[in-house]
Amino acid sequence: MSLRPRPSRTLRVALAAAVLALALTACSGEESPSADPSGSASASSATPVDGGDLTFAIGNDPISLNPSGIGSGNDTLYVTRQLVDSLVWQDPADGSLKPWLATAWKANAEQTEFTFTLRDGVTFSDGTPFTAASVKANFDDTAAAGAKSSAVGNFIGYKGTTVVDDHTVTVAFESPNAAFPQATSTVALGFVADSTLAIPYDDRASGTGVIGTGPFVLDHYTKDTETVLTARDGYAWSPQDRDGAGAPHLAKVTFQVAPEASVRTGSLTSGQVQVIGGVQPTDIATLEQAGLTLVHRANPGITFGLTFNGASPFGKDPAVREAISLAVNPTEIRDTALTEGFAVAVSPLASTTPDVADESAHLVTDPAKAASVLEADGWAKGSDGIYAKAGTKLAPTLVWITNFGPNQTSVELIQSELKAVGIDAKLWSGTVPDFQAKLAAGDFDLVWGNLSRADGDVLRTQYTTQGTNFYKIDDPELEKLLQDQLAAGDPAERSSLLAQAQERLVTQHHVVPVHELTTYLGLSDKAHGIELGADSRLDQLTTAWVG
């Protein structure tokens, strides 16, 4: 028992110490770069200064500046969010939907038709007006782009958009799509001008000719180097419920690509940039010690954890699933692999997801009970201390990839926790294509991962057996809940169905939620008003200023 977390913990401490030592030498040169007596916390409530330039270091090249295209994830969306506006704004405070380019919206009882009333006086940066026709043209364009658009999932069964009048549109689907209003808050469903839509879809990636209604316009994009945006004139349609949002204070924003996390951190501490994204958990302590502000928010969506392969012999066996759920200790994993800023999961959904239900009563760690569950099911320990039944050793394959730094520590700790009970988990990792091939072939028992999205419908996209799904969870009752929530007209009814789905996922032990993912941005004392949206990605920089 006492041997379990030792090797990885020692290694981590040593690494952390090394990083810290490097960072301390880095900061010792300039103790206080600015003579500003006020702390950054009080400074952010000071009067915003107009006309500053902000440099924001991101880890990946955006690849595509087409708002509905596929780029490199968060880093792309940080940039494109500044170029386009959406019909609704999702309030990060409670996940509720608030007016933006749409002043009101309603759905029919079947949740197949959604009618939006549009705001007046909105223009694209080329001066053309934003109207109901713009909404139709954009949605038709995105639906036609199919798999090339990151919004493809929002347009399944898309029948079309009808222009009722200049200020009213109705979007219709073949089947219920109660998650659609939330989907309209995303960047992928933001709007570009007719002149942009006239450019072939593939040719919009460079950003040339991409015209939005957003507070910033593209100045230039240099691949692998920088994307420079400038404030547009006359921007007056920020979400009215977003505090302090209006015409942008910043004159220019430069998103600078810096692939190395330690270089981003050093650039921030040495004052070469004002904001950094992609802060690694190992760098959090460094930045805090340097007295820098960290803006953070837990990512909504599915938490990091284990999901069983419902089609594999081990994943099919309820006793094995229950024993593994009981053997895994999420708190120990969080404490070892991460920092306090990453919460222990209380549900398959993260705490910032709308309709999250607290399932912590069902999430119990009890290794002794895990053993008795296995023994009651006919498993017996062999001479090597590993359970076996009918000649089959309890040695499930756990697959994972390094898309998040601490993953290795987490899965290795899970392996030792399972070993302590008598389950000999085999870890497998590989490149992204290898991983995808492994999942597609169903050649695994457990998979470690997460998925960010700011709506409970993420449970359906992840666990339904109707799409191209790798988990093959054979549970008709769960499937019904996942499909019914998409047809629920009453928000309270939908909330209740989603809560039942979360409970079913953990009580049937299809998933073992472990920890939430938290997004961190690092800020110099010159940067103020940098905010994360409901999707825990950078919100529009209309509240931001430097000074």
For other proteins, the binding residues (CB under 8 A) are 22, 25-26, 29, 57, 61, 63-64, 70, 146-148, 152-153, 156, 202-203, 205-206, 222-226, 256-260, 262-263, 266-267, 269-270, 272-273, 432-434, 436-437, 449, 451, 461-462, 464, 467-469
Cβ 198 to other proteins, closest distance in Å? 16
Extract the tokens encoding 204. 């919009």
Of 267 and 519, the one with the shorter C-beta distance to other proteins is 267
Q: What is the largest CA-CA distance in the chain?
A: 78
Interior CA angle at 109 toward 107 and 112, to 5°? 60
Return the closest-CA partner of residue 523 out of 57, 34, 35. 57
Of 103 and 206, the one with the shorter C-beta distance to other proteins is 206
Extract the tokens encoding 530. 């940098």
Of 360 and 403, the one with the shorter C-beta distance to other proteins is 403
Of 24 and 368, the one with the shorter C-beta distance to other proteins is 24
Return the closest-CA partner of residue 337 out of 249, 415, 435, 235. 415
Cβ 396 to other proteins, closest distance in Å? 20
Helix (H, G, I), strand (E, B) or coil at 168: strand
Of 16 and 386, the one with the shorter C-beta distance to other proteins is 16
Cβ 508 to other proteins, closest distance in Å? 20
Helix (H, G, I), strand (E, B) or coil at 280: coil
Of 44 and 66, the one with the shorter C-beta distance to other proteins is 66
Of 199 and 319, the one with the shorter C-beta distance to other proteins is 199
Residue 262's identity, in one-letter code, is: S
Of 272 and 365, the one with the shorter C-beta distance to other proteins is 272
Of 50 and 202, the one with the shorter C-beta distance to other proteins is 202
Contact between residue 56 and residue 264 where contact means Cβ atoms under 8 Å apart: no
Cβ 227 to other proteins, closest distance in Å? 12
In the block, tokens 């050093």 appear at 266
Cβ 394 to other proteins, closest distance in Å? 27
Contact between residue 338 and residue 383 where contact means Cβ atoms under 8 Å apart: no
203 backbone dihedrals φ, ψ, rounded to 5°? -90, 0
Contact between residue 34 and residue 286 where contact means Cβ atoms under 8 Å apart: no
Extract the tokens encoding 435. 């991983």
Which residues on adjacent β-strands are paired with residue 285?
Answer: none
Residue 184's identity, in one-letter code, is: T
Of 79 and 370, the one with the shorter C-beta distance to other proteins is 79
Cβ 321 to other proteins, closest distance in Å? 21
Helix (H, G, I), strand (E, B) or coil at 207: coil
Contact between residue 294 and residue 532 where contact means Cβ atoms under 8 Å apart: no
Extract the tokens encoding 313. 């012999």
Euclidean distance between CA atoms 301 and 303, whole angstroms:
6
Cβ 209 to other proteins, closest distance in Å? 14
Cβ 18 to other proteins, closest distance in Å? 12
Cβ 431 to other proteins, closest distance in Å? 8
| CA count, 13 A, side-chain hemisphere, 281 | 21
Of 58 and 87, the one with the shorter C-beta distance to other proteins is 58
Burial 460-479 (b: 16+ CB within 10 A, else e): bbbbbbeeeebbebebeebb
The CA-atom distances, in angstroms, between 63 and each of 18, 33, 225, 482 are 34, 34, 11, 34
Q: What is the rounded (10 degree) CA torsion for 134, 135, 138, 142?
A: -170
Of 179 and 394, the one with the shorter C-beta distance to other proteins is 179
Contacts of 432 (CB under 8 A, 6+ apart): 401
The CA-atom distances, in angstroms, between 407 and each of 24, 63, 400 are 26, 26, 8
The secondary structure of residue 524, as a DSSP letter, is: -
Cβ 62 to other proteins, closest distance in Å? 10
Cβ 255 to other proteins, closest distance in Å? 11
Cβ 438 to other proteins, closest distance in Å? 9
Euclidean distance between CA atoms 175 and 189, whole angstroms:
19
Cβ 103 to other proteins, closest distance in Å? 29
Of 63 and 294, the one with the shorter C-beta distance to other proteins is 63
Euclidean distance between CA atoms 57 and 287, whole angstroms:
15
Extract the tokens encoding 88. 């609704």
Of 376 and 437, the one with the shorter C-beta distance to other proteins is 437
Cβ 472 to other proteins, closest distance in Å? 11
